[in-house]
Amino acid sequence: MSNRLKTTFAGVEFKNPVVLASGTCGFGRELNEYFDIERLGGICSKGLLDHPHGGNDGIRIWETASGIMNSVGLENPGVDAFIENDLDWVNSKNLVNIVNLGGHSLDGYLKGMEKLNGVDLDILELNISCPNVKSGGMNFGTKTEVAREIVRKIRAVCRHKMVVKLSPNAENIVSLAQMCEEEGADGVSLVNTFLGMAVDLKKKAPVFNNVYAGLSGPAIKPIALRMVHQVAKAVSIPVMGLGGITTWEDAIEFIMAGAAVVQVGTATFMKPDISMDIIAGMERYLEENGYESIEEIRGIL
């Protein structure tokens, strides 16, 4: 493999711009049984809270036309258990280790951040956009001025490179991204899942206990692409693009729309090593079209 796919994001070097999205790959161990995860550019951990959390009750997954809806609700072992059991393993791998931190309250975010400040990792992905947590997550991430407080307070203490993960359910995703830049974020990642709903006709009731849940997969790709394009035009910090990326063509589209790095999420459920196909396809495209570097096509649209 050549160096065509090599790229730099906020000063962090990626051997290729393909990262597995938070919540779809655990901490990487399971997928490492299917392929060598060191072939990835990076990996985003399952969203962590400062404490262990059991997640949502009831149905957690539902298929839709060209997509899935999930309502896992930030089930996670907690930052402490992650540090004790998984962090060293991920750090020992030659790929960018992105750790996703969520919260139920400002205090929770700060506590989680304090613990993660004490360890090594490559990038912190601040999740202010989880739609499945009633008391936090997306609630922080839909209004720019509410989100500003949390981004400012975490930025003030975070000693790592920090990327803020944005919700497509935001009132104005462009102003949200601009705010992140103003507050000193090193980058933004977008989009998280779209809030959706499903109904069980037999029970005449919502499928999900939380009523609403997060839609992902190819169904959201055109909207995610549009949002990445708008945000990349409006900020000068780098953008990680995600939302329904399933093929190498999808990935190239996001790069052309302005993303420096792309994340693959739902597609991994179709084929555990689909990210390997995406990387190979991107490399081939660059070669066949005479590009020496992926950066030559970034943001050309």
Partner 1 sequence: MGKVQSNEALGEGFYLMRVEEKNNARMGQFYMLRAWETYPVLSRPISVYDADEESVSFLYKVVGKGTELLARLQAGDEITLDGAHGNGFPDLADKKRIALVGGGVGIAPLYLAAKTYKKENPQCIVDIYLGFSGKTVLTEEFESVCDKLTVNVGGFVTDDIDPAAYDAIVTCGPTVMMKVLYNKCVKSRTAAPLYVSMENRMACGIGACLVCSCRTSDGNRKVCKDGPVFLGSEVFNIE
Q: Indicate whether 63 belongs to the interface with partner 1 (CB under 8 A).
A: yes
71-79, 81-89, 92-100, 284-292 -> range binding partner 1 (CB under 8 A): 71-79
- Choose, by CB under 8 A, the member of 8, 55, 222, 301 that binds partner 1: 55
Burial of 58 (0-12, 13-18, 19+ CB in 10 A): exposed
Q: Which is nearer to partner 1, 75 or 295 (CB)?
A: 75
| From candidates 18, 19, 31, 164, binder to partner 1 by CB under 8 A | 31
For residue 107, the number of C-alpha atoms closer than 13 Å in the C-beta half-sphere is 2
Nearest-approach distance from CB 203 to partner 1, in angstroms: 15
Instruction: Please tell me the distance from the alpha carbon of residue 176 to that of residue 198, in angstroms, as a whole number.
Output: 28
* CB distance 139 to 81 below 8 Å: no
Under the binding rule (CB under 8 A), the answer on residue 214 touching partner 1 is no
Of 44, 130, 158, 180, the active-site residue reads 130
Q: How far is the CB of 254 from partner 1 (least distance, A)?
A: 18
Burial class (CB in 10 A: 0-12, 13-18, 19+), 125: buried
| Cβ partners under 8 Å of residue 176, min gap 6 | 141, 144, 147, 166, 167, 170
Is 203 an interacting residue with respect to partner 1 (CB under 8 A)?
A: no
Select from 87-95, 133-141, 254-262, 264-272 the region that touches partner 1 (CB under 8 A). 264-272
Applying CB under 8 A, does 210 fall inside the site for partner 1? no
Query: How many DSSP H helices and E strands does the chain contain?
Result: 9, 16
CA-wise closest residue to 20 among 7, 9, 8, 32:
32
Taking residues 101 to 140 in sequence order and writing x for each that binds partner 1 by CB under 8 A, - otherwise, the string is: ----------------------------------------
* Site track 133-172 with partner 1 (rule: CB under 8 A), x = hit: ----------------------------------------
Alpha-carbon distance of 248 to 268, in angstroms, equals 13
Is 130 in the active site?
yes
Q: 30: closest CA among 16, 14, 43?
A: 43
Give how many residues touch partner 1 by CB under 8 A. Answer: 33
Nearest to 138 by CA among 173, 110, 162: 173
**Closer residue to partner 1, CB minimum distance, 65 or 201:** 65
Per the DSSP assignment, residues forming a β-bridge with 98 are 44, 123
Is the Cβ of residue 57 or residue 149 nearer to partner 1 in the bound state? 57
- What is the SS3 assignment for 68? strand
Alpha-carbon span 108 to 297, nearest angstrom: 40
Q: How many of the other CB atoms lie within 10 Å of CB of 218?
A: 18
Question: Looking at 56-64, 86-94, 104-112, 191-199, which segment touches partner 1 (CB under 8 A)?
Answer: 56-64
CB of 61 to partner 1, least distance (A): 4
For 153, the 3-state DSSP assignment is helix
Work out whether 270 is an interface residue with partner 1 (CB under 8 A). Answer: yes
Per rule CB under 8 A, is residue 263 in the interface with partner 1?
no
Q: Which active-site residues does the annotation give?
A: 130
What residue ranges bind partner 1 (CB under 8 A)? 23-26, 30-31, 33-34, 46, 54-55, 57, 59-63, 65-68, 70, 72, 75-76, 217-218, 246, 266, 268-270, 272
